[in-house]
Amino acid sequence: ETFTANGVDLQLALAEEQIAPLQQQLASISRGRILLHRREPGTEE
């Protein structure tokens, strides 16, 4: 996790089939303010 001026960036390792349900849950509890962004393994942001 990394704390930023806008909140927190959290990196998770998920199976492909877990991504869509998690995105739906996060969007639901945050009124659409939490977004998932895919990052390929081995890449740095």
pLDDT tens per residue across span 1-45: 899 998 888 888 899 999 999 999 999 999 988 888 888 777 765
Q: Domain limits of the chain?
A: 1-45
Amino acid at 5: A
Q: pTM of the full predicted structure?
A: 0.65
Q: Is 34 exposed, middle or buried (0-12, 13-18, 19+ CB in 10 A)?
A: middle
Closest to 37 measured CA to CA, from 24, 25, 23: 23
